Structure 1
Amino acid sequence: MKKKKILIRIGSLRHGGAEKVLVTFLKNLPNDLYEIDLLLNLYSGKYLNEVPDWINIIYLNKGEMITTNRLQDIPEKAARVIFQKVLKEFPDLLYTFILKDKKYDIEFAAIHGMRDEILHSTNQSSKKIMWIHNDLSQVKEYTDEEIRKFFRFDKVMVISEKIENLFLNLAQNESEKQKIVRIYNPLDTDEILIKAEQPVVNYEFDKNIPTFISVGTVFPQKGFDRLLKVHKKLLDEGFKHKILIVGDGYDFENIKTLKSQLGVDETATMLGFTENPYPYFKNADFYILSSRYEGFPTVLFEAITLKKKIIATEVSGVNEMLNNGELGLITENSEEGIYEGMKKALTAPESFKVYQEKMQTYTMPFNLQNSVEKIVSVLNNL
């Protein structure tokens, strides 16, 4: 059987949810069916070493992501931006000189930010797939008109019921509706449980003081600013507790500055990036999702796997993930909602036992094998 030639595009393989999901998918993909080129804008990230050897990695630039505007960093940062913009504006250069005029059967945008790069491909005959991980209705620049551009793809894979409904409501005919397919993110439960048994480093948990952990890329959408403000308010009201934020991102320094401005450096810790966040999950008392918006917060899958007490703002995917509130406390998507959820955890921690009891007998529908098989089916049927 002739292998399908596939080009997959993503910015980098840094420590974000979409990156983790993509690499988990690639690790579980049958290597006898496909010939895959993975094109990165930046050859960087913790997941690079996890990409299977049979997948060919191509990149536009190499090095760590530059998130600051220090004078010494500006020339390299500007050079990368200009180079990538030129290739986006003139795709012939990319396909001729970097991809060597290779003809692909399928071109696959692994994040919505790669929409235009794939749609402007010089491979007119290739089938185009989009994988959407965010609720774009909550992203300011994505008007209905912008979102409708995704219907130019042959298939649009979405990761939650809310995102699926967004696209179905914008579809103008049955043909467009048929392009939308909901596939839950492929995640490896066994890997999470094994890694959680490793020791905690660079942090000390105090069993006498409740710790709320939040894990994610430090972007404004994650709402870490809201979390710290609520933390300060509860401390001022006399509720002893600690906050642990695990992750890195371009908003890291802003959130770190806010932490100092609020005067909570002693009780709130920003651990930064860690290869293995799961021991921190395991040892914390509560997991809190403070996001302003999500697509399908895979971090809750990890928290459920580790049977944590969960508080989450009502964003896309949370009701599905928490089985409509059976597995965790869902709060209003606001600073006040976060406050009420955390206050309940501190004043009535016993009320969370009902969620953990449900988790003991709950079978998650987000099965790794099912998700991979469904994506493979999409690839094979194009």
Structure 2
Amino acid sequence: MKPIVVGLLGITHPHASARVRALREIEGVEVVAAADDDPRLTYFTEKYGVEARTIDEVLQDDRIDAVMVHSKSKDMVPHALRALAAGKSVVVEKPGGGTVEDLLQLAQAEAQAEPGLVVQVGYNVRLARSIGQAKELIEAGVIGDVVSVSARGAALVGEHLTAHLNQPADMGGALWIIGCHMLDSLVHMFGAPDSVNARVHKSARLSDETSREDSAAVLLNYPDMSVTFSFDGHDRLEWFESSRISVYGTAGMIEIGILPQKLRVYVDQDRVGWKAGWTEWTESYFTPPFARTESNKFSELPELENISNFHPEMRGWVDSIRTGSPVVAPVADALAVAQIVDACYRSEKELGASIEVESA
């Protein structure tokens, strides 16, 4: 088993500590150092037992094989490029940058990287067991041919005020930074759409000009399938508790829950080991708080309580580094998500007109 030594470039993204904890449950993996010019670096390194270093010190350490990038969006790709140039595999926190141009640059860098280096983007909702099982059922034809999909995503009420959702260099706010999770899951399951129609709404009743969009209604257009995605930036349930995907086929349907993870499958007759009618699986009837304490709920270091989706994500990254297995969240999909979100904003400027999604 190849030992893997990991460092961090940036620690302010809420997912940084979750990935450290998930990696430390994998045999033969060490997380040894972190770099950031943020004053909270000391808190992070002391709490998670890593050494505080400069970016150059992390990149020049020949013992470090791989780097996790948890910086501000505008710095994600520059950090990733430096890590790849230093011969280190990377996982870049979602959405992989602040703009479509960032993701294009990351894709180019991946294509030019030396053999054996792995580039993964930090999308992990796609790795929920419920989504994975649903994808397998769809591909096996259990519900026949898919004809329509309805999806919902949300940001927690109050989150719209955070600096995290209002980074000046980002192309958007809550739809881009939070909505991207569900859009990535749709891309993972069905590929990228041909075009998008969208209305991205800002409501004076909900927020003022100091924050970005409040909601969005999106139509993803495929050759022979319609997909709708509704996004709300002021949900009062826990993160992802109200997020869901419903898939309608010619012979049945599937309802997918994210947190708690759940799956409801309906088939019109016995098929491929599934009995006619409803079959339901639920991981848990109670959603653990996503952040551990109320006081740090919206901080940039919330130290997430529920990290179930980070375990398969980090195992996938490590397996790709060790064995060359396929990347579980590839740059190509992250680029497709960026292009979809960009198309949503452009569609809104044209009052919901159809905007073609560029091919990744």
TM-score, length-scaled by structure 1: 0.37
- TM-score normalised by length of structure 2: 0.39
Greater RCO (Cα-Cα under 8 Å, separation 6 or more): 2
Rg larger for: 1
Higher strand content, 1 or 2: 2
